[in-house]
Amino acid sequence: MSIDAHFHLWDNNVRDHRWVRQVPGLGETFVLDDYELQAREAGIEGAILVQVLNDADETSDFLAAASRSPFIRGVVGWLDLEDANVSEHVSMLCSSTHGHSLVGVRHLVEGETDPEFLERPSVLRGLCALAKEDLVFDLVVRPRQMASALRALRLCPELRVVLDHAGKPPIGDQLDGEWVGLITEYGQDERISCKVSGLLNEAGSTWRERSFAPIFEHLFDSFGPSRLMFGSDWPVCTTVASLDEVVQWTTKNLRSLSPSEQANVMQATAERVYLKQ
């Protein structure tokens, strides 16, 4: 059994998910019942629901969904990190009716035009507010933003961080040198864990013909299995692979690890980082 550390839900009838409507196959509605059925068939026994939009109402809806479904183990939501009253907002969100399900916060940093967005004093104040509530910050960036992000994280040393989608490395015949160096640096910070997620989408339709062994080996060397966690990135993954295929592909790439190390990646790391188990 495993824990999926990264899945999404959305309903375009409720709010405008413009970016997903632009991706063929993602414009429909994706609901929890559909995900849970596929997840259980793939051996997943619980999951972390991750924000899709920089939208506080979406976070409220996700927290309410988690209160109704034990399958949702926790929610990584969103709040405005630059708000002048961010500390109060974080505290209010955590103490709200369903706030006990909030395990982290994410902002779509990869979509920011400012490559040093996280280094803004207003954003740093927000990150430190998350640390005070012991919430995880899910970091979604591309390699060009990773150096700046790391500088920002060092200014908030109490913040626990999860790097989404392994930093979205370019998928090619050889490892990208910039990504390799940055992942090595990230791995040296014991506060930072990393999601083995989203890689098939970075590769696109050619993922079945590619070897991901060098990427996995570098992640093993940099973070170790105790700071790596599996994430399906459903339903985004469905544009190239089924949920079951993502699980099987992940476990195949973990075969060089011991059973206990594989269990870390597939379950224990997510439980420890998000659920403090």
* Predicted confidence band of residue 85 (pLDDT cuts 50, 70, 90): very high
Closest CA to 141 of 112, 117, 109: 109
- pLDDT, tens digit, 9 for 90 and up, residues 97-107: 999 999 999 99
At CA 231, angle to CA 98 and CA 32, rounded to 5? 50
Identity of the residue numbered 14? V
Residue 52 contacts residue 17 (beta carbons within 8 Å): yes
Closest CA to 25 of 215, 210, 165, 234: 234
Return d(Cα 59, Cα 102) in angstroms, integer. Answer: 9
Return d(Cα 192, Cα 121) in angstroms, integer. Answer: 21
161: domain CATH number is 3.20.20.140
E strand map for the chain: 2-7, 44-50, 72-77, 102-107, 136-139, 160-163, 192-196, 228-230
Closest CA to 269 of 235, 236, 220: 220
Identity of the residue numbered 246? V
Q: Is the pLDDT of residue 277 over 90?
A: no
Residue 180: phi and psi, rounded to 5, are -55, -50
Residue 231 contacts residue 267 (beta carbons within 8 Å): no
| 223's tokens | 């973070």
pLDDT (average), residues 169-183: 93
- Maximum C-alpha span of the chain: 50
Residue 104 contacts residue 136 (beta carbons within 8 Å): yes
Percent of the chain predicted with pLDDT > 90: 92
276: alpha, beta or left? (left if phi > 0; alpha if psi -120 to 50): left
State how many domains the chain has: 1
Q: Is the pLDDT of residue 62 over 90?
A: yes
Return the pLDDT at 97: 93
- pLDDT, tens digit, 9 for 90 and up, residues 200-237: 999 999 999 999 999 999 999 999 999 999 999 999 99
Q: Is the pLDDT of residue 172 over 90?
A: no
Return the pLDDT at 13: 84
- Domain housing 156: 2-275
The count of residues in the chain is 277
